[in-house]
């Protein structure tokens, strides 16, 4: 991947100066192994996987033929004229443990394909390396993605050696190799078995760099982007606010750039159109302005790019961006030197209200037009000394007949104050704050899943100061998964639908094939049926619950009978609101979920908890779920408080705290009145959206451990109810801390084995 990563090219979109960067997962430490195809070991597989076994056996039986094909491809490759670009459909077969070579010139494009399925049980990654000539390598998990150029930035244009996870059940993985010099280039195929790692947060990959991978003009100004950030943007509060804003939306934008070729092409075209402005901005950052004058075309190109970018964002992010754009007043500078924009706007000090924003949900039963009512709201706020503008959007009233709207308050950030003022005004029949909801963070990697089987293995973790270290666990400090699995294997079970209300799921991964309810999946952020994860959180949570057992890929989930219903109610930044949360809960119940996992929480900005009485719509949805026999499992929160976050403090939920691999309370977990149970939540290995297995920590990781056990309880006994589930979990937990119930560990650590046996017996 490109070194010395520079950000902030698209800063020019929102102020001719808004910055863009993205923290990415690193490529993990490698372990080379160019071993040949091995024989499948005996494995206990369910009936659903017999077809898979047959396919893999066929692959192994034809391995010799594949090697022969690769040898022929190698011979042909030596004679290939690669002066023109290849297409993925013309890819050469690269045998793992073998190599191909060509005489190339700079800019030549070569495609190779690798069949990796027969390595899944022993290795975690394919390794493709280039020697002789420097080259960029990109990896794709199937032919369609290779044709469209859609991949994750971690596997896009990596210099000389690429590790690509064996996480998709595809006939071939495809690799694009772009020569950066002339001479003989050799491409080698191998495998690696690598440990999961903790995510790192010090390696930036930004939108301008993502675009630069596809456009040399953007690449040519990349080096100047850091000086724009450091010498201009960071010199004023307004500039810093624009930088902070992009940090908050960068996941969404980079994901779209790398995954949507049409969007990427449009962004490149628009960026090219105002390249003179970009170059002038770089010159200004170096103290060498040329006097370039902003043209009408420049303004229109920047505005058009802004509109295209904002179309990819949620309501709140789009509103905040519009606030910053409006403050810039860029159109007023057409016909004037661009340096005046920087001097008069970018370098001015911003007021505290520039980024202030909050929302409230309001209900009314009258016939008055909502626009006239909003006008009254503005007057009421002004009379209370609040200088803010109010907009609105319609929303669904899930449990009543009154009209419901979400009021968007620009210029003020405390939704509780707005709620109190509007309640006292008697304009509406009811008012609720629309609080922000936040995500709380014999398969090949099974040995790292200490939460399922703790042998005392060392697991990497971070302490509260961020220091990384490996910690040996306490033997048998786990959820008793293996005993549960043996017991369940002798029982008659049924499929159980588990709704995961989160950031979505990467449903293309091998471990999720056949277990995701795509027919009923829903995305409340984009209001469509595509729940693709653009964050990592939802994929990781879903993996803990239900990643396919025994298929050799990646990891093992807890409940082999679970079907995941992904409901995306959190955006690329892991944020959502209580309006969509209530909708998601009711939707899950109506679509047949028996278990709902909510690894998320709500708190006020000052750290105080939000109470159930303040989230009436969500509480109504919870009550609705309980009446329908649906159990809701919720994370306790990660603020290290002596009280639970909402909705863990709701009487309708099972609240879950986190422990480490020594049975110690995790330093970050909330505790206190109402805590029901704890589960492993420190350095939990599970899948993330790019196919890697990563260690993540949080009550978000503890919550799905309990949800997976609850799903298995329903699978052995369809007559389970939320009250029975809660009673069985607590009665059969592994006691920790003070004997009996306490507010640190609740009833103790979930014991999957005992809980499922008790559920089967109905007591």
CB atoms within 10 A of CB 719: 9
Q: φ, ψ for residue 51 (rounded to 5)?
A: -65, -40
User: Which position has the higher pLDDT, 339 or 174?
Assistant: 174
198 contact partners, CB below 8 Å, separation of at least 6 = 460, 461, 462, 468, 683, 694, 695
Cα dihedral across residues 330, 335, 339, 343: positive or negative:
negative
Residue 496 pLDDT > 60, yes or no? yes
pLDDT at position 570: 93
Burial class (CB in 10 A: 0-12, 13-18, 19+), 604: middle
pLDDT at position 676: 97
What are the tokens at 275? Answer: 């390249």
Residue 616 pLDDT > 90, yes or no? yes
- Alpha-carbon gap, residue 50 to 708, rounded angstroms: 24
Residues with catalytic roles: 502, 537, 700
- Alpha-carbon gap, residue 683 to 700, rounded angstroms: 11
Burial class (CB in 10 A: 0-12, 13-18, 19+), 467: exposed
Under the banding of pLDDT at 50, 70 and 90, the label for residue 605 is confident
- Alpha-carbon gap, residue 174 to 143, rounded angstroms: 7
Under the banding of pLDDT at 50, 70 and 90, the label for residue 167 is very high
- Segment 90-96 mean pLDDT: 93
Residue 248 pLDDT > 50, yes or no? yes
Mapped onto helix, strand or coil, the DSSP state of residue 51 is helix
User: Which position has the higher pLDDT, 645 or 552?
Assistant: 645
- Segment 558-577 mean pLDDT: 92
User: Which position has the higher pLDDT, 224 or 130?
Assistant: 130
**Percent of the chain scoring above 70 in pLDDT:** 78
- Alpha-carbon gap, residue 666 to 721, rounded angstroms: 30
pLDDT at position 441: 59
User: Which position has the higher pLDDT, 24 or 484?
Assistant: 484
Lowest mean pLDDT among 190-199, 333-342, 497-506, 651-660: 190-199
- Alpha-carbon gap, residue 231 to 96, rounded angstroms: 49
Closest CA to 575 of 362, 313, 200, 311: 313
pLDDT in tens, 707-762: 999 999 999 999 999 999 999 999 999 999 999 999 999 999 999 999 999 999 98
User: Which position has the higher pLDDT, 318 or 83?
Assistant: 318
- Alpha-carbon gap, residue 408 to 423, rounded angstroms: 16
What are the tokens at 674? Answer: 């109402």
Per DSSP bridges, beta strands 496-502 and 595-598 are parallel
Per DSSP bridges, beta strands 135-140 and 99-104 are unpaired
Name the DSSP letter for residue 339. Answer: H
What are the tokens at 720? Answer: 């389970």
Q: Which residue has the tokens 């997962």?
A: 25
- Alpha-carbon gap, residue 10 to 739, rounded angstroms: 58
- Alpha-carbon gap, residue 140 to 146, rounded angstroms: 5
pLDDT at position 319: 81
- Segment 253-280 mean pLDDT: 72
pLDDT at position 40: 27
- Segment 679-694 mean pLDDT: 91
Name the DSSP letter for residue 646. Answer: B
What are the tokens at 691? Answer: 């196919």
Lowest mean pLDDT among 24-28, 233-237, 412-416, 613-617: 24-28
Closest CA to 265 of 149, 141, 144, 137: 149
- Alpha-carbon gap, residue 322 to 500, rounded angstroms: 32
CB atoms within 10 A of CB 733: 23
- Segment 292-315 mean pLDDT: 86
- Alpha-carbon gap, residue 471 to 457, rounded angstroms: 8
pLDDT at position 343: 84
What are the tokens at 617? Answer: 């719509």
Structural element, H or E, at residue 307:
helix 296-310
- Assess contact for 690 and 543: CB atoms under 8 A: no
Query: What is the Cα gyration radius of the chain?
Result: 27
- Assess contact for 52 and 510: CB atoms under 8 A: no
- Alpha-carbon gap, residue 299 to 341, rounded angstroms: 12
- Alpha-carbon gap, residue 476 to 750, rounded angstroms: 13
pLDDT at position 41: 30
Whether a cis peptide bond, with omega within 30° of 0, leads into 355 is no
- Assess contact for 511 and 551: CB atoms under 8 A: yes
Q: φ, ψ for residue 702 (rounded to 5)?
A: -75, -40
Residue 247 pLDDT > 80, yes or no? no
pTM of the model: 0.73
Closest CA to 541 of 555, 523, 561, 526: 555
Residue 508 pLDDT > 80, yes or no? yes
What ranges in 88-156 are assigned the alpha helix state H?
143-148
């Amino acid at each position: 991947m490109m070194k010395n990563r520079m950000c902030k090219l698209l800063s020019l979109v929102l102020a001719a100066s808004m910055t863009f960067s993205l923290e990415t997962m690193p490529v993990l430490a490698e372990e080379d192994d160019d071993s040949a195809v091995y024989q499948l070991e005996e494995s206990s597989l369910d009936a659903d996987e017999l077809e898979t076994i047959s396919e893999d056996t066929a692959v192994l039986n034809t391995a010799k033929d594949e090697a022969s094909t690769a040898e022929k491809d190698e011979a042909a490759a030596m004679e290939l004229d690669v002066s023109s670009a290849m297409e993925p459909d013309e890819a050469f077969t690269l045998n793992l443990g073998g190599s191909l070579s060509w005489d190339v010139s700079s800019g030549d494009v070569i495609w190779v394909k690798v069949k990796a399925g027969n390595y899944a049980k022993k290795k975690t990654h394919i390794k493709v390396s280039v020697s002789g000539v420097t080259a960029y390598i990109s990896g794709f998990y199937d032919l369609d993605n290779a044709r469209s150029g859609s991949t994750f930035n971690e596997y896009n244009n990596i210099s000389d050696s690429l590790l690509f996870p064996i996480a998709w059940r595809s006939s071939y993985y495809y690799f694009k190799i772009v020569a950066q010099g002339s001479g003989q280039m050799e491409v080698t195929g191998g495998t690696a078995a690598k440990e999961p790692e903790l995510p790192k947060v010090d390696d930036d990959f930004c939108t301008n760099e993502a675009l630069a991978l596809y456009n040399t003009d953007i690449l040519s100004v990349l080096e100047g982007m850091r000086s724009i950030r450091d010498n201009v943007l960071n010199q004023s509060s307004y500039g810093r606010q624009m930088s902070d804003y992009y940090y908050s939306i960068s996941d969404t934008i980079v994901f779209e750039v790398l995954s949507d070729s049409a969007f990427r092409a449009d962004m490149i075209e628009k960026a090219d159109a105002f390249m003179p402005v970009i170059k002038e901005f770089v010159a200004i950052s170096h103290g060498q302005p040329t006097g370039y004058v902003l043209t009408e075309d420049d303004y229109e190109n920047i505005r058009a790019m802004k509109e295209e970018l904002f179309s990819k964002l949620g309501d709140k992010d789009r509103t905040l961006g519009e606030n910053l754009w409006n403050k810039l007043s860029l159109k007023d500078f057409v016909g004037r030197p661009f340096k005046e924009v920087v001097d008069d706007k970018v370098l001015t000090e911003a007021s505290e209200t520039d980024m202030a924003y909050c929302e409230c949900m309001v209900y009314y039963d009258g016939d008055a037009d909502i626009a006239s009512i909003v006008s009254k709201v503005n007057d009421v706020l002004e009379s209370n000394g609040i200088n803010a503008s109010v907009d609105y959007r319609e929303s669904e009233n899930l449990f009543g007949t009154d009209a419901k709207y979400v009021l968007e308050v620009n210029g003020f950030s405390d939704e509780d104050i707005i709620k109190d003022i509007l309640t006292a005004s008697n304009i509406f029949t009811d008012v609720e704050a629309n609080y922000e909801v936040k995500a709380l963070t014999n398969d090949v990697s099974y040995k790292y899943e200490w939460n399922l089987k703790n042998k005392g293995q060392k697991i990497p973790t971070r302490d509260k100061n961020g220091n990384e270290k490996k910690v040996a666990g306490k033997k048998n400090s786990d959820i008793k998964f293996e005993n549960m699995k043996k017991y369940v294997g002798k029982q008659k079970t049924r499929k159980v639908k588990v709704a995961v209300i989160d950031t979505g799921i990467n449903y293309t991964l091998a471990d999720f094939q056949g277990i995701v309810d795509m027919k009923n999946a829903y995305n409340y952020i984009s209001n469509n049926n595509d729940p693709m994860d653009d964050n990592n959180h939802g994929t990781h949570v879903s993996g803990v619950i239900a990643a396919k057992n025994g298929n050799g890929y990646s990891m093992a989930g807890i409940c082999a009978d679970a079907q995941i219903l992904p409901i995306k109610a959190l955006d690329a930044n892991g944020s959502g609101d209580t309006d969509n949360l209530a909708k998601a809960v009711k939707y899950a119940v109506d679509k047949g979920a028996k278990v709902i996992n909510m690894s998320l929480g709500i708190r006020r900005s000052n750290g105080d908890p939000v109470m159930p009485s303040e989230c009436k719509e969500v509480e109504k949805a919870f009550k609705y779920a309980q009446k329908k026999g649906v159990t809701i499992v919720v994370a306790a929160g990660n603020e290290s408080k002596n009280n639970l976050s909402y909705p863990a403090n709701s009487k309708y939920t099972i609240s879950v705290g986190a422990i480490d691999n020594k049975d110690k309370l995790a330093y970050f977990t909330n505790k206190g009145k109402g805590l029901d149970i704890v589960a492993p939540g420190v350095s939990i290995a599970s899948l993330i959206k790019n196919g890697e297995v990563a260690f993540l920590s949080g009550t978000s990781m503890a919550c799905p451990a309990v949800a997976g056990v609850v799903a298995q309880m329903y699978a052995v006994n369809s007559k389970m109810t939320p009250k029975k589930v809660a009673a069985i979990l607590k009665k059969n937990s592994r006691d920790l801390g003070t004997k009996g119930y306490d507010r640190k560990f609740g009833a103790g650590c979930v014991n999957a084995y005992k809980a499922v046996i008790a559920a089967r017996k109905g007591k």
